[in-house]
Every structure is written in structure tokens, then in C-alpha cells.
Amino acid sequence: MRKCANPGRSGHKMSIEAGRIVYNTRELIGELFGVKKPNQIIFTSNGTLALNLGIKGLLKKGDHVITSSLEHNSVMRPLRYLEGKGKIEITVVWCSEDGRLDVKEIEKAIKDNTRLVVITHASNVIGTILPIKEVGRIVKRYNILFMVDAAQTAGVLPINVEDFCIDLLAFTGHKSLFGPQGTGGLYIREGIEIEPLTQGGTGSNSELEVHPDFLPDKYESGTHNTVGLAGLGAGVRFILEEGIENIRNREKELTSFLLKALKDMDEITIYGPKDPELQTSIVSFNINGLESNEAGYVLDQAFDIMTRTGLHCAPSAHKTIGTFPRGTIRFSLGYFNTKEEIDCAVKSLKKILVERRISR
């Protein structure tokens, strides 16, 4: 049966099947994150929108927020926007040069008006994994809300919202969840009131001109990206069948292989923990004396190797590790990469180094 109808808008079988796809994806994500009620998972078009919904929908005038210096601009910019409007106060807890976060510094930063602690689960620049479980338990003792940006870790590191005391969890579909671009979402713990960013058609309570106040409809106005959510559901199903532990072990193996090769190259500076146990499978580095953008261009044009260069939408993180405004070259390894591909990348870097020596 074709399932390309608008979910939740009609009573015919195609619409019902489309709605079932959306709900099945909700259930799969709930299973992955330990969410007992799937309707607490709100679908958005990406992780950025999920973070904006959580941050702007929750915070009120006079609130104090604690965050880390490793945050992506998807966290920093909504916070700075609200700060610029005179609505909130922000404390940024600075991490060490290799991205370690001291949870005691989070506790020290708590004030009487602290409403929210929002941090990334892992840095998108250097991969350092932050101790969100420990932070969550501290935050819970003070009756403060805890929001986690899981864009870098959903699908590759175990996350249980109950065990980690997470009140809000933002995720994107197109990274380690193996879903398509244009998918993402936000888990909202039951009982937390957040102002929706949009109102409109939901297919429910159509007799009323007032927007529904129940989840997920309260936060899901307009037509779902049903095709994208079907793809996201397929990706999450693969993760559950394959096993998070197996995926994580594979990525650690690849990261270790790459780090060992890069450490043997004297003209390359690696950033972050340099330890696959302490980081995700992204590796940031620079070639001494060569701008990151220039190195990325050569890797792309001469060797067909695609990297991310520059500041990675995280200027604060680069200030933390000492690479602002230069940025870094970032290799992003995934479950389906191979050691042969890493070998090819390393050989390409060695060729670049040889060419630079000759040209001096």
C-alpha cells in the first residue's frame, strides 16, 4: 500500500498508515532513549529547532542559565538572543583545553534564580564526551531543569533520560541516527510546560480556533515530514538491532586507528582528549603552518577526501581549545567507514606534508 498521504488529517487508509509510520518512529526513539511515553517526543525539522523550542519556550524574564564553553551555536545563539533582549542571565562554565568539564564548576555556578542547565553531550569540534549523568544528578538535587544537546551522541552513546535525570533532550536525525536531513526532535519530560513556537493545523480539535494543549500536537503544527520520519525510524530500528555497544566499539576502533596514525606525524597538531574512550569518533587537527580551510580544499580537490574545516559553528569551543579564529580540520568517522579509507586519508596528508617540504 502506498503511504504518502498526510498523517492525522483524514480517515482513509493511506492517511492512517502514514500516521502509523510517524507513531512507530516515536516509539522507536522512545525505546532508544528510555522514554516511557512516546508522545513526550516532539518531532522538529532538525536539532536546532528542537533546541530553540526548548530554550525559548521554557525560559522567562529573570531566569539564570548555566552552559558550557563547548556548545554549538544552536545552543549559544538562542541563549545570547534572549540575553540580548534583557530576559536572561548566562553563566558559561569553561572546560579544559582538551574539553573536560568539571561538574563541581556547574554546582558552583548555581544561583537562586537558576532555571536551566543546558550542555552538549559531546563536543562537535573535538568529540570530548561530557559527564551528563553526573551533571543531571547534581541539577536534580537543586530542582533545576536539565537540557542535553544530543546531536553528536544520539545513536552512538547510551542515553536514558530517566537514569541521566534529563528533562529535555534535543536530537537530530541526520547524524548517528542514520536518518535523513530535515529530521530531529525534542523529548520533554512530562509536567514541563513549554510555550510552543508555532500554532496551526494539527488534524486534532479542528472545531476549535485555539491550538491543542496536549502532546505531541501542542508542538507539531503543520504537515509532518512523513518520508523523512520513515527514514529516521528505519535508522533507529537499525541501531536497536545492531546494538549501541557494537556501534560504539566499532567507532572507537576506527578512532584509535586514525589517532595512532596522526600522532606519528610531527607536523600535525591534534586537539581534544586523543583517547577514543573519552571522545566520539570525530578528530580535529591542524597541519602546522597551513590554514585549515586551505588544507581542506587540497584534500577535497586533489584527493577527493571531504572534511569540515574552520570554526564548525562553535566559536566558544575553539576559544576553549586555543584554535580561534583559525579553526581546525575535522575528520568525522562513522560506523560504515573502513580502515582502508582512513589509510587513504592518512596517505593523502603525508603527500601534502611532502609537497610542503619540497616547496619551502
Catalytic residues, which ones?
Answer: 313
DSSP letter (8 states) at residue 209: S
DSSP letter (8 states) at residue 82: H
Q: Which of 283, 299, 5, 17 is nearest to 127 (CA)?
A: 283
CA distance 127 to 279: 5
CA distance 303 to 292: 16
CA distance 209 to 109: 43
Q: What are the strands, taking DSSP E only, across 9-154? A: 41-44, 63-68, 88-93, 114-120, 145-149
Rg (CA), the chain: 22
CA distance 273 to 279: 7
Q: Taking phi first (over 0 means left), then psi (-120 to 50 degrees means alpha), and beta for anything else, what does residue 172 get? A: beta
274, 353 contact by CB (below 8 A): no
Q: Which of 38, 6, 29, 1 is nearest to 232 (CA)?
A: 29
Look at residue 255 and give its three-state secondary structure: helix
Look at residue 130 and give its three-state secondary structure: coil
236, 155 contact by CB (below 8 A): yes
CA distance 81 to 110: 21
Q: Which of 2, 13, 19 is nearest to 203 (CA)?
A: 19
